[in-house]
Chains A and B, each alone.
Chain A
Amino acid sequence: MSRNLLYIFLSLLLVLLLVGVGLRIGSFTAGFSTVAEALFSYNPANQTHFAIVELRLPRLLLALIVGASLAFSGYLMQAMVNNALADPYILGTASGASLGASLSIAGFVATTWSGVYLPPFFALAGAFGVTTLVILLGYRQGQIIPAQLLLAGIAIGSLLTAMVSLFTFLSGSESAIRSIMFWSMGDFGRANWQVLPYPAVALFLALVLFLFLQKELNILLLGAERAGTLGVKVARTRWLILITVAVVTGFAVALAGSVGFVGLIIPHVTRSLLGLTHKLNLFLCALLGGGFLVACDILSRLLYPPAGLPIGIITSFFGVPFFVYLLLKKSYRFN
């Protein structure tokens, strides 16, 4: 018990440390004292303060929230379909967001409307639209059939990937192609204080809701039938998971593009640390997911300054080897 709390405490410390380090990195030189000064006695006329508070902090917080949202959604999806390979994107949410954004970036629908930059809105619409479609396809006689849902998600996802490739191909401008690529692989460059509350509130509400449903989630891992006999309302829990994942992931990908692997890897890391059914699993999962993306963002900007590499490249490069290590570790089992 105390060891598990220690893990959580260390993760929290690590995330704070990463955010602290992240706040130092950028074009304006800033030591820790300048960072502290910018945070606690902010002077908007000071350009370094301005960069730290208005640009670096929202960017790091977006990375934190997106990482937490995706890892949390991944954990829920793996529990729902009872499959170690599931991630938040199996509902087609990310492909839908990419489709919406690329349609707008390539100019097939409006890119701006009375000065408002539209790709994030189309991304949100695409995310929700496609997720609804996949859920409808996975639904039969009042029940969500996990296998059918998985297959529908894979099929629709492939179709949408092909469509995004088509729009990328058809868009003549090299910059538009690179822009679509950044969307497809994730980017925190657009972060600002105005957009942060949406994914943050969605994640917070979802975390609170599932703190009360943690027991049902754990029982779902035993399979739908046994969960039913143990008194879990399987259909209701599945619906709650689906709606939560759709909303939380939808906001995350609409703002940052589809960052890969976080939603797949971090839930497994969490279980390997705290065990399969610990009551703080969801909390730690969100924390680790956030920390992981903050670290990846810092790394991407250090490796390829100033704007950084698309974030999905970094998550794969550093996440996948670790994941393979986890798979080979004999002591870890999914169920």
Chain B
Amino acid sequence: MFKIHFRYALVYWVACILLFSCESQPARQPETATLTVTDDLGRKVTIPRFPRRIMALAPSETEMIYAVADEKTIVGRTQNCNYPIQVKNKPVVNNYPMDYEKLVLLKPDLVFTVEGLTSAEEAARIQELHIPVYYQKFAKVEDIFRGLTDIGRLLHREDKAKTVVDSLRQALSQLQVRSEVGAEPQVLAVTWPDPIYVYGQNTIFTDKLQYIGAENAVKEILAQPYPALTREYILKLNPDVIIGGTFEKMDATFFKLYPELKQVKAYRNKKIFAATDDLMARPSPRVVSSIRELKKFIR
């Protein structure tokens, strides 16, 4: 009786030792579930290797991810996201003030945003909730193409991103116009009447204009990207074109408030136009449409 028991015990222990020794064999490492990348602000962000639930905290970024990502992986939008039209079916997360609870409820595993719309403090808070935040930054039209390529790489949709970028580049090259040096129309884009805020030199607006042979009338790099200007400064700039509203609307409001500015060339030649706000303000794949719209006004 005892002998049998001993035999069983021996078999048991040998089996155990074999089992453990098998387990302790150096097995093939499975791929880690995350990887660390550097975003446009130079921040190190640990993101899932295969993001499956994504969203953006800025309307322009929502347009960016819609251009590249699989729509099924987009789990939400902000209250201001309105393009493409199907985005309206997605649940809303308020980004001002930031609705952290709703964000957690939607469980994105990666969120995209742009500098300026999500503060560093908000990003830190979101990361504490184990949701990585990836910032993109756009100073030039080319940055939008690079941004689309980056999103494609992060989401393993490089081919889709390449198709989008190639078609945008092609559309842009068809729009491109050159002016003789010194003959570039000077364009002033007004964003607010009192105080008068405009698109400054270091905005993407300046870069958009160079594709159609025009220039931002504001040449000086001022402290703010959207600086406040005096009436005198605008008189000195004497822009050829003003973007900010239809001639009739600007005549009845802006130029009624500042009749002195009726001296500028844009007013005298009635070269005053209303651009689509979202196209002007958002660095998104619709940048080519924005440049096309500006070309229609200026050329």
List residues of chain A with CB under 8 Å of any chain B CB.
26-28, 47, 50-51, 54-56, 105, 112, 114-117, 119, 172-173, 175-176, 178-179, 182, 187, 189-190, 192, 301, 304-308
Q: Are A178 and B194 in contact (CB under 8 A)?
A: no
B299 at the interface (CB under 8 A from A): no
Q: Are A27 and B230 in contact (CB under 8 A)?
A: yes
Known: A47-B235, A304-B223. A182 touches B230 (CB 8 A): no
CB distance from B189 to the nearest CB of A (A): 12
Q: Number of contacting residues on B, CB 8 A?
A: 28
* B192, B231, B263: the one within 8 Å of A175 (CB): B192
CB distance from B237 to the nearest CB of A (A): 8
Q: Which of B45-53, B123-131, B252-260 contacts the other chain? A: B252-260
Q: Are B232 and A175 in contact (CB under 8 A)?
A: no
Q: Are B233 and A27 in contact (CB under 8 A)?
A: yes
Residue of B nearest to A105 (CB): B194
Q: Main secondary structure on chain B at its contact with chain A? A: mixed
Known: A28-B236, A115-B256. A306 touches B194 (CB 8 A): no
Q: Are A190 and B194 in contact (CB under 8 A)?
A: yes
Q: Which residues of A contact B194 (CB under 8 A)?
A: 105, 117, 119, 179, 182, 189-190
Known: A27-B236, A117-B193. A307 touches B230 (CB 8 A): yes
20 A–B contacts, CB within 8 A, in A order: A27-B230, A27-B232, A28-B236, A47-B235, A55-B260, A112-B253, A114-B252, A117-B194, A117-B253, A117-B256, A172-B96, A175-B197, A175-B226, A178-B192, A179-B192, A179-B195, A189-B194, A190-B194, A306-B227, A307-B195
Q: Which residues of B contact A173 (CB under 8 A)?
A: 192
B74 at the interface (CB under 8 A from A): no
Q: Which residues of B contact A51 (CB under 8 A)?
A: 232, 235-236
Kindly name the residue among B222, B228, B236, B257 whose own CB sees the greatest number of chain A CB atoms within 10 A. B228
Interfacial residues of chain B within 130-148, with CB under 8 A of chain A in the complex: none
List residues of chain B with CB under 8 Å of any chain A CB.
80, 96, 191-197, 222-223, 226-233, 235-236, 252-253, 256-257, 259-260, 263
Q: Are B232 and A26 in contact (CB under 8 A)?
A: yes
Q: Which residues of B contact A178 (CB under 8 A)?
A: 192, 195, 197, 228
CB distance from A123 to the nearest CB of B (A): 12
Known: A26-B232, A55-B230, A175-B197. A50 touches B263 (CB 8 A): yes
Kindly name the residue among B96, B193, B231, B252 whose own CB sees the greatest number of chain A CB atoms within 10 A. B231
